[in-house]
Amino acid sequence: DWTARAREYCDPVENPRKVAVVQRQLESVQTALKERERRQGASVEEMTIEVNKAKADLDNAEHDLRTCAALNNTIKKSLVLRLDKWHEFRRHIALRCKLVFQYHLSNRGYYGKVLFDHVNQTLQLKVQTDDQAATQGRDKDPRSLSGGEKSFSTICLLLSLWDSIGCPLRCLDEFDVFMDAVNRRISMRMMIDTANASDKKQYILITPQEMGSVVVGPTVRVHRMSDPERGQGVLAFGNASA
């Protein structure tokens, strides 16, 4: 019946090979296929599944690689932008430090400048006192300043640097031991004015000098420690606890 229907469309094609020959070839192919499966340890279907799975893993890995490459480029661009912003921020901080330093020095009639070398990561000070301005007209290296001038210049530098730092607690110990009365009075006034103008920041100033010129107020407290006992060889910790 099927043969009759097929003849309606085309003439039959005679197979030149005998049925026995085709059967032997089929058996030979099947035997070779089984031998290959035995050597490979898996069937064609199993290997096809493994190949498809490996191809899917490869596609996923290539997709992840492209995603990582795109993310890497984005991060590089963001880093370049952040570095540009950081350099601009650093430049503004250095400029503000220079201006604040000059402002504080002017309270004593001094002139000076802060030289930032960002490449070599160094900082250099140049200070000119009022006497030098009238005679030499040159900036003076801080190492050649007198004790009081050097201490006052250091206070001005600290105040200018603190202006750019967000640390809430700032301490100075024996900052005025080499200052004369004029430099000390101006330094104390500058630090107290700076502390009053600072929001949520506390200043702790430790000094062996008298604090009679300091005006105590709501934001200023003076705590005086007891004088040490001269000639005391042993601390009386045991007697105090008893």
Domain assignment of residue 159, yes or no: yes
pLDDT digits (tens, 9 = 90+) for 29-75: 888 888 887 777 777 777 788 889 999 999 999 999 999 999 999 99
pLDDT digits (tens, 9 = 90+) for 124-177: 888 888 765 555 555 656 666 777 788 888 888 888 988 888 788 888 888 877
Domain assignment of residue 17, yes or no: no
Domain assignment of residue 45, yes or no: no
Q: What is the pLDDT of residue 206?
A: 87
Query: Which residue range forms the structural domain that includes residue 70?
Result: 62-215
Mean pLDDT of 81-110: 91
Q: What is the pLDDT of residue 237?
A: 67
For the chain, how many structural domains are there in total?
A: 1
176: left (phi over 0), alpha (psi -120 to 50) or beta: alpha
Domain assignment of residue 205, yes or no: yes
pLDDT at 83 over 90: yes
What is the residue-wise DSSP string for 67-113?
Answer: HHHHHHHHHHHHHHHHHHHHHHHHHHHHHHHHHHHHHHHHTTT-EEE
Residue 14, H or E segment: none
pLDDT at 225 over 90: no
pTM of model > 0.75: no
pLDDT at 76 over 90: yes
Domain assignment of residue 240, yes or no: no
Backbone angles phi and psi of 193, in degrees to 5: -65, -40
Q: For residues 130 and 152, is the Cβ–Cβ distance under 8 A? A: no
Q: What is the pLDDT of residue 79?
A: 97
Domain assignment of residue 160, yes or no: yes
Domain assignment of residue 117, yes or no: yes
The CATH number of the domain holding residue 164 is: 3.40.50.300
Q: Higher pLDDT residue, 113 or 147?
A: 113
Partnered with residue 123 across adjacent β-strands are 116
Q: What is the pLDDT of residue 129?
A: 80
Alpha helices in the chain (DSSP H): 2-7, 19-40, 44-106, 130-134, 147-162, 181-197, 237-241
Q: What is the pLDDT of residue 175?
A: 81
pLDDT digits (tens, 9 = 90+) for 169-199: 888 888 877 788 888 888 888 888 888 888 7
Q: What is the pLDDT of residue 242?
A: 43
Q: How many CA atoms lie within 13 A of 185 on its CB side?
A: 6
Q: For residues 151 and 91, is the Cβ–Cβ distance under 8 A? A: no
Domain assignment of residue 191, yes or no: yes
Q: What is the pLDDT of residue 39?
A: 78
pLDDT at 234 over 50: yes
Residue 217, helix vs strand vs coil: strand
What is the residue-wise DSSP string for 224-241?
Answer: PPPPP-TT--S--HHHHH
Residue 142, H or E segment: none
Task: For residue 186, give both structure tokens.
Answer: 């101006």
The one-character DSSP state at 165 is -
